[in-house]
Amino acid sequence: YPWDKSSLKSMPVDLQQFEKLDAYALKVNVKNSVEELVKALLKQARTDLEKVRAIWIWICHHIEYDVVGYHDKSQLSTKPIDVLQTGKSICEGYAGLFEQMCSIAGIQCMKLFGYSKGYGYKMGQTFTGDSDHAWNAVYLDGRWHLLDSTWGSGAVDDSFTKFTFRYNEFYFLTHPALFINNHFPDNSNWQLLKPTLTLKEFENNMLHNSNFYMLGLLTAHPETAVIHTVNGKASISVDCRSATLFTFKLRGTDEHGLMTLEKHGMKLDIYPQKTGSQKLQIFAKPSKASEGVYNCVLEYVVECESVDKATRFPKDLHQPVGPSWFTERQGFLRPSHSNPIIHTNDGRCSVTFTLGKDISVLASLHSDNSSLTEDMRRRHIMQIHRGNQIELKIHLPHAGNFVLKIYAKKKSDPGNYDYIFNYLITCLNTEVKWPAFPQSYSKWVEDYEIVEPLSGLLPANRNIQFKLKMQGIAKVLVQAENTYPLTQSRGYWEGTCNTSGCREVFVMVHENANHSFYSHVLKYEVENQ
């Protein structure tokens, strides 16, 4: 059975073509004999595949799992006629009824026994003794195919006291390469695989539940259920067919890792902050389901021998980190930094994007060990717009780990900014101590640009050179103790001002030569004398 991963089934199946047949099979209500039931179901089924489908749909929607009989075998019969008349059984009863119904319909069918990773399975456990599950193989189009009507019908709760019908398409003619993930037949020929897996490999292999495949996920690395950290770190990756959103929880939190979305999957590095064994869960949902819930698709046990104390992430860091197909969809194209972590040695960095139409951006800087006020979080970042390009110039106030959070909204929307994504910025140089950029006012227009001075804190008693790029205004003044006009040349306004005798310096513009009033656009502080 070659598996090209384009289908989860072992033969081509068009579910849309089954819609009428499925609806018919659901409504058939015959309880007096298995023969009569099959006769009624086959009225709408022509091909062998349709016959098997009708039987499958009927059993999955009419037989419930017998939680009482499972605990007390004396209350239980797995004979097909008893299963039909009571409407409940355990796996062996499902498989037995399926086998008999196929036999009446003239289709070869086998009842198979083996080990399963189903209810009560613990990660990494070993299997010994008698088999614990039963399922079927049916012969269609010249070869055998696998199905499990017990698992197709629904699920039992954690306390194993209540069964809920919840149809699962995954277990109908499942490809053997996927079926082996949680079904290990007593007779290895019935794996329908070459080469076959050993029991040890089955035990060690990662358990993928049906959500994993239903969401279009293909493979996960590592493939074993238990992961050992190396120098306090472990890495996990998932490959998938189409854009998928992921989250994770290690010991119930996503604080100790760094997850990035890839076009076809995700990568995750985790740094457990405690030694010993701990649970890692990975959740996913399709990218189109903006409101939908995340489903658990993978569970690992992480064995951590030593903690990497140096790698601590700020509390404000949100998963996933860095740019991705998701941020592209939000209008942030061609990022200068595709990596989620930006390292800077001198405490300065600059991130650029091409922006989609009509997007207004807000960015702020967060760190665990700094007392930045709301206003200062923004003032350590300067936005520079050139056409549809945006540059975020960042000057860090000190060394450490920072989160650069990026928010956006449509310019035409009056509402609030939405959080889009974040970067982690790291700086180890303890000498770093950049002042904030100057404060800008509402009249400072998006495509204005400060060439100098970039620092919002000017030295006292000095002549300071000003150079600003501003279009479409009549006059620019710098107001300190005295007022200094700037002169325009080639799109820039330039000049000097002296900072003696003042605590603040303002840049003001005259938007129209006919008006007499000026608007404040920038404010600088002056160092103490």
- Which residue from 480, 443, 442 is spatially nearest to 463, judged by alpha carbons? 480
pLDDT for 43: 96
175: buried, middle or exposed (CB in 10 Å: 19+, 13-18, 0-12)?
A: buried
pLDDT for 209: 79
pTM listed for this prediction: 0.81
Mean pLDDT across 500-510: 93
Who contacts 359 (Cβ-Cβ below 8 Å, separation ≥6)?
Answer: 331, 408, 409, 410, 411
- Which residue from 455, 463, 459, 418 is spatially nearest to 438, judged by alpha carbons? 455
**pLDDT at residue 393 is higher than 70:** yes
Confidence of residue 58 (pLDDT cuts 50, 70, 90): very high
pLDDT for 333: 97
Mean pLDDT across 187-208: 92
pLDDT for 241: 85
Domain 15-202 has CATH 3.40.50: no
Q: What is the chain's mean pLDDT, rounded?
A: 93
**pLDDT at residue 401 is higher than 70:** yes
Confidence of residue 49 (pLDDT cuts 50, 70, 90): very high
Q: State phi, psi for 519 to the nearest 5 degrees.
A: -110, 140
In 10 A of CB 402, how many CB atoms? 30
**pLDDT at residue 4 is higher than 70:** no
Query: Hey, CA dihedral for 190, 192, 196, 198, is it positive or negative?
Result: negative
Q: What is the Cα–Cα distance from 102 to 108, expressed in whole angstroms?
A: 7
237-261 per-position pLDDT tens digit: 999 988 899 999 999 999 999 999 9
407-442 per-position pLDDT tens digit: 999 988 888 999 999 999 999 999 999 999 999 998
Which percentage of the chain shows pLDDT scores above 70? 98
Q: Where are the domains of the chain?
A: 15-202, 215-304, 325-427, 439-526
pLDDT for 513: 72
Mean pLDDT across 352-377: 89
**pLDDT at residue 3 is higher than 70:** no
Residues 208/212/216/220 CA torsion (nearest 10 deg)? -50
pLDDT for 496: 96
Range name among 12-21, 178-187, 208-217 with the lowest pLDDT average: 208-217
Q: Which residues are part of the catalytic machinery? A: 91, 133, 148
Which percentage of the chain shows pLDDT scores above 90? 78
- Which residue from 248, 335, 323, 329 is spatially nearest to 290, judged by alpha carbons? 329
Looking at residue 326, its amino acid is F
User: What are the distances in angstroms from CA 271 to CA 202, 312, 450?
Assistant: 28, 8, 41
C-beta of residue 498 within 8 angstroms of C-beta of residue 480: yes
Who contacts 47 (Cβ-Cβ below 8 Å, separation ≥6)?
Answer: none
pLDDT for 33: 96
Range name among 3-12, 103-112, 116-125, 246-255 with the lowest pLDDT average: 3-12
What number of CA atoms fall less than 13 Å from residue 227's CA on the CB side? 28
Who contacts 14 (Cβ-Cβ below 8 Å, separation ≥6)?
Answer: none
State the fold for domain 439-526: Immunoglobulin-like (2.60.40)
Superfamily of domain 215-304, CATH level 4 = Immunoglobulins (2.60.40.10)
331-351 per-position pLDDT tens digit: 999 999 999 999 999 999 999
465-490 per-position pLDDT tens digit: 999 999 888 899 999 999 999 999 88
User: What are the distances in angstroms from CA 330 to CA 25, 326, 366, 392, 412?
Assistant: 45, 7, 22, 17, 15
pLDDT for 211: 87
> Would you say the CATH fold of 325-427 matches that of 215-304?
yes
Range name among 260-269, 283-292, 342-351, 445-454 with the lowest pLDDT average: 283-292
C-beta of residue 218 within 8 angstroms of C-beta of residue 250: no
C-beta of residue 131 within 8 angstroms of C-beta of residue 115: yes
Confidence of residue 267 (pLDDT cuts 50, 70, 90): very high
pLDDT for 2: 57
pLDDT for 47: 97
Tokens 């819609």 locate to 19
How far apart, in Å, do the first and last CA atoms of the chain sit?
A: 82
Which overall architecture, per CATH, does domain 325-427 show?
Answer: Sandwich (2.60)
Mean pLDDT across 55-77: 93
122-158 per-position pLDDT tens digit: 877 899 999 999 999 999 999 999 999 999 999 998 7
Mean pLDDT across 46-53: 97
